[in-house]
Structure 1
Amino acid sequence: MKLYYSPGACSLAPHIVASEAGLDLDLVRVDLASKKTEGGDDFLKVNPNGYVPTLVTGAAEPVTEASVVVQYLADQKPEAGLMPKSGDPARYRIQQWLAFISTELHKTFSPFFKPTTPDATKEANRALLSKRLGYVETELANGPYLTGNTFTAADAYLWTVLGWSKAVNFDLSSFPNVQRFMATVASRPAVRKALQEEGLA
């Protein structure tokens, strides 16, 4: 399998999942500005939307969207416990978290990385992030990870997205459970391995 990624982007989440599951990936770095791979190929021919992650599996169509790619990879090694089996209520709880992270957190961070975003929009998004993280903070009081004591694909996605806080100067100090979560995930060997492979460690 081939994962198209950009260091520190949301593609880090599936990279972490693969690392946790012990899956071997061929990593292809993408310059998101030029839409070129590190080898100079046109990334738009792989993913017409031009964003990562994009996972090429050998099937006719690549797998895209971070929340879907992490599930696909987790399902390749069910014994790793990153996604419960289909039909298990616990799976839908994790899928619920993946949807929340994608729509309520990931998309709220995105405007901070666009130079044309008005300051008023950024301030509104900061307020929304604070509100949404209040919910995450409460949920993390129940254990080290989102659904308790087991690290899942949703935790990889949450950790990746909240890792952007420093880049946009979003202060996490009022969320002690979130800070604990960030430190706990950062200490996992598979996470450190993924960071090293992306040149981020």
Structure 2
Amino acid sequence: MELYFAPMACSLATRIALYETGQTATFVCVDRMEGKLEDGSDYHRVNPMGQVPALRTDSGELLTETSAILQYVADLDPEGRLAARSGPARYRLQRWLNFITSELHKALFYPQFSPASNDGAKAFARDLLEKRFDYLERHLTGREFLLDRFTVADAYLATVLGWTRPVGIDLGRWPALKDYFDRMRARPAVATAVAEEYALYEAHEARKGAA
């Protein structure tokens, strides 16, 4: 497998899932601002949308969209550790994956980071984001994970929550959510993935500053 990723982007969730299950992949870094791969080639030839993650399977098929890729990686694990195989438990997992991608990632965090987003759009998205965090706070009170065990939904939510500091959101306002985030970041697979990608992110920023 080949995982096309950008440091500390949503593709981090797939790296976490791979590490949690002990699966191997080749990691291909993407410069999202330039739309280039490390060899200088155009990433849009891989994924016309220019977004990460993208996963090239061993059969050669290209998968895109975080929720789909996470479920694919989870289903490769013979022990089924990160996703229920079928039935109501699988639908509950899909519910959380859809919530994270639609209610947090795309709808609310994207306006915070996009250079095309104006102050009004950012303020509106931030107000909605805080309401979603209120919802998560209620759900996670008394719970260790989103579901009954660590799943790819937790890998995705832990990734998204890592964007709160750059946009100036203090998770201390939501104690259960903050405790959850701290637990997730302490998991060995998560900690390893974050440390590796943050080092790559810092190196990339240093190169941009020197250019």
In the superposition, the TM-score normalised over structure 2's length comes to 0.90
* Structure 2: stretches of 5+ with no match in the other structure: 201-211
Question: Is contact 1:20-1:80 (8 Å) kept?
Answer: no
The residue aligned with 2:75 is 75
Q: Give the superposed CA RMSD.
A: 1.4
- Opposite residue 136 of structure 1, the aligned amino acid is L
**CA spacing shift, 1:56–1:103, aligned 2, 3 Å:** same
Unpaired stretches in structure 1, ≥5 consecutive residues:
none
> Alpha-carbon deviations, 1:32-51, whole Å to 9, x = none?
01111112221111100001
Instruction: Quote the Cα distance in structure 1 between the aligned partners of 2:158 and 2:45.
Output: 30
What does the per-residue CA deviation read over 1:118-138, in whole Å, with 9 as the maximum and x for residues that have no partner?
111111111100111111111
2:39 corresponds in structure 1 to 39
Is the 8 Å Cα contact of residues 97 and 154 (structure 1) preserved in structure 2?
A: yes
Match of 2:145 in 1: 145
> What number of residue pairs does the alignment pair up?
199
Match runs of 1:17-96 below 5 Å: 17-86=17-86, 88-96=87-95
In structure 2, C-alpha distance between the alignment counterparts of 1:200 and 1:97, rounded to whole Å? 29
Q: 2-side partners of 1:131 and 1:188: how far apart?
A: 27
Q: Once the 2 structures are TM-superposed, how far is the Cα of residue 76 of structure 1 from its aligned partner?
A: 0.4
| TM-score where L is the length of structure 1 | 0.94
Query: What's the % identity of the aligned pairs?
Result: 46
C-alpha displacement of 1:80: 4.6
Match of 1:196 in 2: 195
Question: How far apart, in 1, do the equivalents of 2:155 and 2:38 lie?
Answer: 25
Residue of structure 1 in register with 2:4 after alignment? 4
